């Protein structure tokens, strides 16, 4: 057990990058958000703290707001010299005060490891829903199809894509234009459907050693029901099959019935993998 007098809590600075890298890549207790950015990319944010123990960086927590109003826990990590709960308690106290209490933002985390889920529950986080994974093995051959208005996404589309994203998702699942720009830069395939100069839907997918992952799909709320989402996904499946990419995966919320119905109609199958989503809401206005 480490005495409180030997621990220094402060905001992370750019000069912490090398020591944070060691913590992130060489320690076993590391939570990283499913993100387009590395935890190191968030350095400079006010919502990024480290714990020093006798001058040694031993733990870190980052939960910057993106999109506005939602502070996803992008990183929590600690080394073996400090207990997980001790590290979390000190760091979360600072984060809770600044992010949840003062700024009145929602804190959220997708937990990939049970040890972190247990810590969140002890800290008053509530289970919101679960993320489920579906996959398509590309065994079902799709015939060629000419989809009117479907074309590759360009960088010039990003402002309209971001506006469409905000209109299509609840605040907790929205992506900022900056995040979408980074997603686009990493895309294996990104497409949009437009009609009369207006973007009606888009998808961004990444490539990986096993195939492709449909990372983002949205159709304008007033255009849903026209089969645009199906058309976009079918085009992605044909692209993956044509390029021998093996499989296509996608994740969605376990309670998002329209999304699940769309993917299952297109022969995606649930893999059985699921990850809890925990949230900590700001106090109610008096």
Q: Please state the rounded mean pLDDT for residues 58-82.
A: 95
Residue 1 pLDDT? 45
Q: Domain extents for the chain?
A: 4-124, 133-273
pLDDT in tens, 145-171: 778 899 999 999 999 999 999 999 999
- From residue 25, give the alpha-carbon distance in Å to each of 29, 43, 76, 186: 10, 16, 12, 21
CA-based R_g, the chain, Å: 21
What's the pTM?
0.91
- CA 56 to the chain's CA centroid: 30
Q: State the burial class of residue 132 (Cβ atoms within 10 Å of its Cβ: 0-12, 13-18, 19+).
A: buried
Q: Out of 3.90.1150.10, 3.40.630.30, 3.40.50.2000, 3.40.50.300, which CATH number does the structure's domain 4-124 have? A: 3.40.630.30
> How far is it, in rounded angstroms, from Cα 261 to Cα 225?
12
Q: How many CB atoms lie within 10 A of CB 244?
A: 8
Same fold, 4-124 and 133-273: yes
Chain segment 121-132, per-residue pLDDT in tens: 999 999 999 999
Q: What is the DSSP letter of 283?
A: P
* pLDDT confidence bin for 35, thresholds 50/70/90: confident
């Amino acid at each position: 057990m480490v005495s409180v007098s030997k621990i220094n809590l402060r905001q992370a600075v750019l000069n912490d990058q090398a020591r944070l890298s060691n913590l992130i890549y060489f320690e076993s207790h590391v939570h990283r958000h499913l993100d387009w950015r590395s935890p190191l990319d968030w350095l400079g944010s006010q919502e990024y703290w480290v714990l020093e123990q006798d001058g040694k960086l031993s733990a870190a927590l980052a939960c910057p707001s993106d999109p506005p109003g939602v502070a996803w826990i992008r990183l929590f990590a600690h080394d073996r010299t400090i207990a997980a709960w001790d590290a979390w308690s000190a760091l979360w106290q600072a984060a809770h005060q600044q992010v949840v209490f003062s700024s009145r933002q929602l804190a959220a985390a997708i937990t990939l490891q049970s040890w972190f889920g247990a810590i969140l529950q002890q800290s008053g986080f509530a289970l919101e829903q679960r993320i489920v994974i579906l996959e398509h093995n590309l065994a079902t051959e799709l015939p060629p199809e000419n989809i009117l208005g479907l074309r590759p996404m360009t960088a010039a589309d990003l402002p309209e894509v971001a506006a469409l994203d905000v209109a299509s998702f609840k605040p907790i699942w929205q992506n900022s234009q900056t995040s979408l720009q980074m997603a686009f830069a990493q895309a294996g395939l990104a497409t949009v459907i437009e009609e009369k100069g207006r973007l009606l839907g888009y998808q961004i997918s990444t490539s990986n050693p096993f195939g492709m992952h449909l990372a983002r799909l949205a159709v304008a709320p007033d255009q849903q029901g026209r089969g645009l989402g199906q058309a976009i996904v079918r085009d992605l499946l044909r692209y993956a099959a044509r390029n021998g990419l093996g499989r296509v995966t996608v994740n969605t919320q376990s309670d998002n019935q329209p999304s699940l119905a769309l993917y299952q109609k297109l022969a995606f199958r649930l893999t059985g993998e699921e990850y809890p989503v925990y949230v900590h809401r700001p106090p109610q206005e008096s």
